[in-house]
Structure 1
Amino acid sequence: MTKIQFRRKLIVIILLCVAVTGAVVRHYAERGTTTRDIATLLMVLWVPIIGNVIAWLIGKLPRRAPPPEPATFDALGVFTPHLLADITLRPPALPVHDVPLGAGEYRCALVIDNQGFSARWFVPQGEVLERGKAHVLDIEFLTPDLAKPRFPQGADFRVLVGDSFIADGRVLQLR
């Protein structure tokens, strides 16, 4: 037990003893006397202490297991395309951001109607995706069983990254 823990326990014990003493004195004091009033004030000392005792007891209760981590693309490993789509990147809100997307992995949500599905696509090494031009890309869903029925061939969708729609697309082929 650390020095601080010992001091806290000692303070709790002393204040509880003072409160119990106040209760005993109040019980035997006559009504309307100063002794009874002071004893009543001493009894009030149990209020913050009992709050700490209750908090300590709640801390001792067993906790529920945390919910399982949601699925991520990192757990999926190898890229497995689920659909072929024609995607046209929208112009950005700021002209300074009007640069093509370089090679690499891009994660987003594909939104169809009012439902979004986590997805990713890759831009191959040496290629770039220019804004305003149509690009044909393979796209992988995080949960293909849920997403594929909502994306029939020819379906139009939007690409959401963060809180902005960055592209529009059309399903060319399911895989």
Structure 2
Amino acid sequence: MPSLTQIQARRRLIVVILLCVALGGAALRQLSAPGSTQRDVGTLLMLLWIPVIGNIIAWLVNRMRAARALKKAAAVMAAAPAAPLREDMPFEPHAWVELTLRPAGVPAEDIPIAEGLHHCALVIGNEGFSVRWQVGPGRSFRRGTLQTLPVEFMAPEAALPRLKPGLAFRLLVGEAFIGDGQVLQLSTP
């Protein structure tokens, strides 16, 4: 099991404390006489648990939506014929995009993105397109910073008709979305 971040550990502690308060309130309510102030305090302590339940339900709904979106994108990528990703092919940008890579989940992975070609899938709605993007020679950048970079589609005839400036997209590597961005301009052939 991965280690918890400090915020996750605090949230877990808060949930445990509120659960204990709610259980104490239930015990106080059970042991008190009907109509007494102690019984009312027990009821109030039990009600402190309600916001946590709402947060748990919202978290579960968001997890289900994310899993469904990821499954759709993975199905689209699996159904699309794979274009050969040959490193010896010259890089020919088809579009310029503005993107921000999401912060690394583990501090050890929080390293600068080096110069060179990087491969991923560009996901628009429920469609995915294999792309490679280039960080120029002598350049690097950190995750979480806005970058303007050229991208090359492995199947430009399928992707370019669906693109227009301002169109938002996500970057997918494996089964994880690693970044978000938008199309700035299409390159002219």
RMSD: 1.7
Alpha-carbon separation, structure 1, partners of 2:165 and 2:121: 18
Alpha-carbon separation, structure 2, partners of 1:73 and 1:123: 17
Q: What residue number does 2:84 align with?
A: 72
Alpha-carbon separation, structure 2, partners of 1:173 and 1:80: 14
- 89 and 70 in structure 1: CA distance in 2 versus 1, 3 angstrom threshold: closer
The runs of at least 4 aligned residues of structure 1 exceeding 6 Å deviation read none
Q: What residue number does 1:41 align with?
A: none
How many Å apart are 1:71 and its aligned residue? 2.9
Residue from 101, 108, 125 that aligns with 2:120:
108
Q: What residue number does 2:159 align with?
A: 147
- TM-score computed with the length of structure 2 as normaliser: 0.53
Secondary structure of the residue aligned to 2:86 is helix
How many Å apart are 1:149 and its aligned residue? 1.6
Q: What residue number does 2:133 align with?
A: 121
Alpha-carbon separation, structure 1, partners of 2:167 and 2:178: 17
Q: What residue number does 1:58 align with?
A: none
Alpha-carbon separation, structure 2, partners of 1:92 and 1:111: 20
On the 8 A contact 2:83/2:130 being kept in 1, the answer is no
Percent same amino acid among aligned pairs?
Answer: 45
Alpha-carbon separation, structure 2, partners of 1:146 and 1:125: 29
- TM-score computed with the length of structure 1 as normaliser: 0.57
Q: 1:100 is aligned with what amino acid?
A: P
Match runs of 1:14-163 below 5 Å: 70-74=82-86, 77-163=89-175
How many Å apart are 1:74 and its aligned residue? 1.4
Deviation string 1:72-109 (CA, Å, 9 cap, x unpaired) is 13188111110000011111121221111111110000
Alpha-carbon separation, structure 1, partners of 2:99 and 2:171: 9
- Across the two proteins, how many residue pairs are aligned to each other? 107
Q: What residue number does 2:63 align with?
A: none
Q: Unaligned regions of 5+ residues in structure 2, if any?
A: 1-80
Q: Unaligned regions of 5+ residues in structure 1, if any?
A: 1-68
- 75 and 90 in structure 1: CA distance in 2 versus 1, 3 angstrom threshold: closer
